[in-house]
Amino acid sequence: MTNYNFYNLCVLLNHLLQSSRMKSLWKVLWVASLFVFLPFHTSASPAHNDRPGTRHAKGYICAGCVVVVSVIEQLAQVHNTTTQAAMEKLCSYLPEKLFLKGTCYLVVRMFGPDIIKLLSADMKADVVCHALEFCEQVSGQPLCHLYPLPKVAWKFTLEKARQIVKGSPTLKYSRSSSDICSLPFLTKICQEIKLAIQNSVPFKDVDSDKYSVFPTLRGYHWRGRDCNDSDDMAYPGRRPDNWDAHQDSNCNGIWGVDPKDGIPYEKKYCEGSQPQGIILLGDSAGAHFHIPPEWLTASQMSLKSFFNLPTALTNELNWPQLSGATGFLNSTSRIKENSIYLRLRKRNRCNHRDYQNLSKNGASSQNLETFIESLSRKELLDHPAIVIYAMIGNDVCSRKIDPVPEMTTPEQFYSKVMESLKFLNSHLPNGSHVILYGLPDGAFLWDHLHDRYHPLGQLNKDVTYDQFYSFLSCLQVTPCHGWMSSNQTLRTLTSERAEQLSNTLEKIATSKKFTNFDLFYVAFDFQEITKKWQKRGGQPWQLIEPVDGFHPNEMALLLLADVFWNKVQHQWPHILGKENPFNPQIEQVFGDQGGH
């Protein structure tokens, strides 16, 4: 999509928000919420054929309601203020971008009066959201609740809450299941954004070479920044055109001719240095799915808390620019380890900008085929690449109450992995390397977190991860019921299947040969990084994302990258290529090579 269309959408939204002719507040809220909710329509795709249905959509809405009402209630408690003031404070923290602040005030205007009444009657967030019909109890299904049940019988408490909001005009809004993308003037833009996310290609890409000058919506946060978006033959990772004597064709910032001897800089500094890129085929862990805890923690919330919310939303709540495989920004975790890409770049500055993070929330061996074609590598025109295949969770994880039948079998896994490898063999330049990354034993999640307090429960010591996991599982929106469960037998079965799939990867790596790449296997060793972290005085739970209680956090990803790099360097040093002796000269002449 062009900048022109994006600009027109923003003008349209602004016009609708200010138009006196658009009298329906709900319609305005609908439109303004496009960028807020669209990532959830497209990025939370589960594995296999477990597509998001009505129950799952309602589950996300219910969970979202309980979180927001909890934050409002806790903000009022922390600042010793009214519920109305707490809601306005929350909105004041949100940025103007993507109409987030305006949308928040609209929501407060619409639902605020009822929330005030219910919280004033000492109703907890679970009760509030059931009373406002954002949550529902399905007949024959257990009651889903985050907080301990009220001392008075649930039915009595809920009936009391419903009487408080009886006849409220807002109830018709919470009952509405209409999709914002069904609005005629949003259909096309929704389709374009959805396709960009589903296909894992940049939303803004003028020359259609799969590289962008725009950071988010699958832009250069995910793959190297394009240096000429009007030329589809100029992109990161290609072999230089005429040694880039006249222009930078591979976007590594090295081009032109040395006036001292007339030799192109690319030829002088990069020829024979074995340039190569890094490509990750991964899931939400590889994309670095992350919800900052300060978004949910009232005592930590401030004007600075949400400054990165627009970026996160347009990156599907992922932070690939800080990931362990392809991160290029300075770590926010303040540890010394770097991403695999930054290590490759340091080893050979001719590798500048040559990274692709083709990870996707919900990705697994079974659905990789739906976006593997977003890979940008031309067999004859481009440099070789190191490809890391890291589907580390969704083949054993499911949101279903009984997840075992949903798990990928070793036979299914073998078949799909081989399909992916055959695809890579037909697209990667000769001399590439593919590394199959094993699955973890996710039992450490329960072991290290279950009796700790979740960010929503830290203020009043009323929500543990055990309760949080149960709430998500009950709503069937958990990222992994098998490991995020109090059922030890289920956790063991999930770990056993993960081990079987890892063994399958190792078997493939040791028995299969391909013409364009060699093949290796590396185990996912969480125990090793836990030991490294504990030697520094840390605790294992500090390596897990605090909000979702599931994903490895930034520190864990960088520690895993360190272990990965050291293993490859020790066992198969040829994969990493040799260190470029001209790195100092490249830095002296080209500085940061145009940055990232």
**Residues with active-site annotation:** 284
Nearest to 307 by CA among 327, 292, 320: 292
Closest by Cα among 502, 487, 358 to 440? 502
What is the C-alpha to C-alpha distance for residues 97 and 188, in angstroms, rounded to an integer? 21
Inter-residue contact 233 to 248 (CB < 8 Å): no
CA 92-95-97 angle, to 5 degrees, is: 145
Helix (H, G, I), strand (E, B) or coil at 278: strand
Distance CA 165, CA 160 (A): 9
In angstroms, the CA 93 to CA 113 distance is 20
Query: How far is CA 165 from each of CA 111, 112, 121, 174, rounded to the nearest angstrom?
Result: 11, 12, 11, 13
Give me the sign of the Cα torsion angle 362, 180, 1, 18: negative
* Measured distance between the N- and C-terminal CA atoms of the chain, rounded to whole angstroms: 22
> Residues near 240 by Cβ (< 8 Å), separated by ≥ 6?
249, 250, 255, 266, 267, 270
Q: Name beta bridge partners: 281.
A: 358, 389
> How many residues in the chain?
596
- DSSP codes joined into one string, 521-533: EE---HHHHHHHH
Distance between CA 261 and CA 252 in Å, rounded?
Answer: 22
- Give the HSE-up count for residue 97: Cα atoms under 13 Å, Cβ half-sphere: 10
**Strand ranges (E), 403-495:** 432-437
Find the helix packing angle between 187-199 and 3-18, rounded to 10°: 130
Residue 584 CA to residue 589 CA, distance in Å, equals 9
390, 437 contact by CB (below 8 A) = yes
The C-alpha atoms of residue 1 and residue 199 are separated, in whole angstroms, by 14
